[in-house]
Amino acid sequence: MNSPKQTVTSKDVAKLAGVSQSTVSRVFISGSSVSEKTKQKVFEAAKALNYRPNAFARSLTTNESKLIGLVFPDADYPIHMKTLQLISTELQKQGYSAVLIPWQIDDNDNHSIPNIFQYRVDGVIAASATFNKSLYEECEEFNIPIVQYARVVKDTKSSHVVSDNYAAGQLAAQHFHHVGTKSAVYLTGNVPTYTNGEREAGFCSEFEELTGKQARVIEADYDYLDSLDTIRALFSESTQPQAIFCATDNLAMAVMDIARLEFNLRIPEDIQVIGFDDIPQAQWLNYQLTTFKQDFKRLARESVKIVVNQIQERNTSLVKLMIPVQFIERNTTQKIK
């Protein structure tokens, strides 16, 4: 029977390299003052012994884990898996690793996080507006930098990187106006957020200014299936809207399915639809949805840049960055002549 394989420690490396154990530790800490000759001796000994530095032990020495917590409670939404990959890639470029922090539902149906400090993360990137404020308060208490990605929780004081939602709302209203739309609806979700509020405000104010008429705001559930009854009720009214701007592509697809399959409406002839996010399904032949594309790559890059700067420079100043969106015109809106 094979004997258990012994774990190689920094003490073994130090003995082979002819240096102290503390010197070995310093070699594997970025920025430590160790001569190149000594580094080379330690690296050669580590390679010969197949030694891998213990990240947790190193974090106790440096007081840094090189881990960034990512909090994505609704990761089943199509764009969020791509977002996780983008953020992880950007973190690796900066010498950090990502750890996905689990979440749970509290008594008020908010997503909450177990004690953030137990994960020994150096910083946090949070990409959902459904959390209660306790996450941000806890990060502030433990001096853990936190950056809000693409969403902003109301009444929180932390840096954020978001898309220009107000401008997107304005562009949607302008498009509807240019093709002669006289009645429009903004279909929103059931969770109030700063970013969604900006989108709604931009759309409603611009539509009223251009047409002299107020756009209706209707609240549904963000979930596709749970939104269907609200959408059915909208189309069952005696006067149907000519156009609907939806807070997400999921809602836009629900609108399209109900309109065509249950009310025999033609899109865009009878009703026009604009979504938001440009998820992969928006390009499917059955939808070909006009929507807004967020620059997720830049959102990820800027979020990582901010949180790393706050960690390394001990910079506590708030950064509020807004990234332009792109209007993607497909087949669910009439073409401007």
Query: What integer pLDDT is reported at residue 135 of this predicted model?
Result: 79
Contact 84, 98 (CB under 8 A): yes
Give one DSSP letter per residue of 129-142, joined into a string: S-B-THHHHHHHHT
Q: Which residues are bridge partners to 292 per DSSP?
A: 327
Which long-range contacts (C-beta less than 8 Å, at least 24 apart) are formed by 15-18?
16/45, 16/48, 16/49, 17/41, 17/42, 17/44, 17/45
One of 3.50.30.60, 3.40.50.300, 1.10.10.60, 1.10.260.40 is the CATH number of 10-62, namely 1.10.260.40
Query: What integer pLDDT is reported at residue 2 of this predicted model?
Result: 46
Q: Rounded distance, CA 217 to CA 65, Å?
A: 46
Give strand ranges (E) for 203-309: 216-219, 243-246, 272-274, 291-293
Query: What integer pLDDT is reported at residue 137 of this predicted model?
Result: 80
DSSP code at position 249: H
Query: What integer pLDDT is reported at residue 302 of this predicted model?
Result: 97
CA angle 288, 294, 297 (to 5 degrees): 120
- H or E segment and range at residue 170: helix 165-178
Query: What integer pLDDT is reported at residue 108 of this predicted model?
Result: 61
pTM: 0.77
Contact 33, 39 (CB under 8 A): no
Query: What integer pLDDT is reported at residue 110 of this predicted model?
Result: 57
One of 3.40.50.970, 3.40.630.40, 3.40.50.740, 3.40.50.2300 is the CATH number of 165-294, namely 3.40.50.2300
Q: Rounded distance, CA 227 to CA 300, Å?
A: 29
Q: Which two tokens stand for residue 201?
A: 């405000």
What digits encode the pLDDT tens for the residues 98-156? 988 877 666 665 555 666 666 778 999 988 766 667 778 878 877 889 999 988 877 78
Give φ, ψ of 17 to 5 degrees: -85, -15
Query: 280 preceded by cis ω (within 30°)?
Result: no
Q: Which two tokens stand for residue 45?
A: 């000994």
Q: Which residues of the chain have pLDDT under 50?
A: 1-4, 56, 60, 62
Query: What integer pLDDT is reported at residue 30 of this predicted model?
Result: 58
Query: What integer pLDDT is reported at residue 140 of this predicted model?
Result: 81
DSSP code at position 277: B
Q: What is the CATH number of domain 67-163+295-323?
A: 3.40.50.2300
Q: List CB contacts of 198: < 8 A, sequence separation 6 or more.
A: 165, 166, 169
Query: 268 preceded by cis ω (within 30°)?
Result: yes
Domain residue ranges in the chain: 10-62, 67-163+295-323, 165-294
Query: What integer pLDDT is reported at residue 336 of this predicted model?
Result: 81
Identical fold for domains 67-163+295-323 and 165-294, yes or no, is yes
Query: What integer pLDDT is reported at residue 179 of this predicted model?
Result: 95
Contact 275, 294 (CB under 8 A): no
Contact 200, 169 (CB under 8 A): yes
Q: Which residues are bridge partners to 160 per DSSP?
A: 148, 320
Tell me the torsion sign for CA atoms 133, 138, 140, 145: negative
Q: List CB contacts of 56: < 8 A, sequence separation 6 or more.
A: 65, 120
Q: Rounded distance, CA 51 to CA 255, Å?
A: 57
